[in-house]
Copies of this chain bind each other. A is one copy, B any other.
């Protein structure tokens, strides 16, 4: 699986050179990093796969907003999530992606942030997406305080001890992933009977839909997750 040699240099260079400062990555601000993990980060970042993606896309100079955002990531998380570095070859794409993502995963919703991350992982498991399973599996472990739940959703969500609401939510998201053409009124009714509102149903669909996009961006580009995720919240 040797990477094509030309698809590597610029992204790598940027990763090394990036020196952000005071960003908050909204995507995971709910997660607490233990001091042990914080210590581990310098090591971890040295071991990150390079390049971040298998396409040779030189970084552009970031807009002040995005530069500030990257700084906050580095400060709060100890690293910049590789998906952001992947989009950084184009400021507009980076900004629309970040806006879309942050509203979806962190904005107001009847779904808790944990529930949204659970959908992300169950969908990514169907699509066998390495990047998303690593990064959002870590988020499920963090938000839930239950490391096993993260593993179960990565491996087979049916093995998790879910309550009725969670199971209905993930059944819908997984069916929407594997056979979207077959989703019909009966499926929406099942969510309503499990207590979800009209807006909740939209949000379940929107998160499931988004990761069906993101999983494919990651697979299409062989996006590599930051090594730091692996150790988080075990």
Contacts and interface: CB of A to CB of B under 8 A. Distances in A.
Interface of A: 1-4, 7, 54-57, 89, 92-93, 96-97, 99-100, 103, 107, 125, 127-130, 133-134, 147-148, 151-152, 154-156, 158-162, 167, 172, 176-177, 180-185, 188-189, 192, 198-199, 201-202, 204-206, 208-210, 212-217, 219-222, 227, 230-231, 234
Given A1-B158, A1-B167, A209-B212, 20 more contacts: A7-B198, A89-B202, A96-B100, A99-B99, A125-B128, A128-B156, A128-B180, A130-B159, A147-B231, A154-B155, A158-B184, A176-B220, A180-B220, A188-B220, A205-B217, A205-B220, A209-B217, A210-B213, A212-B213, A212-B216
Contacts of A198: 7, 55-57
A51 to B, nearest CB: 11
B230 A199 contact: no
A154 B220 CA distance: 19
26 contacts: A1-B185, A4-B192, A54-B185, A55-B188, A55-B199, A57-B199, A57-B202, A89-B202, A92-B107, A93-B206, A96-B96, A96-B99, A125-B155, A127-B181, A128-B155, A129-B156, A129-B180, A134-B151, A151-B230, A154-B155, A176-B216, A180-B220, A185-B222, A201-B220, A209-B216, A212-B213
Nearest to A57: B198
Given A129-B181, A180-B215, A227-B148, A221 B205 contact: yes
Given A4-B192, A92-B107, A219-B176, A55 B148 contact: no
A206 to B, nearest CB: 7
Contacts of A181: 127-129, 156, 158, 219
A61 to B, nearest CB: 17
A161 B1 contact: yes
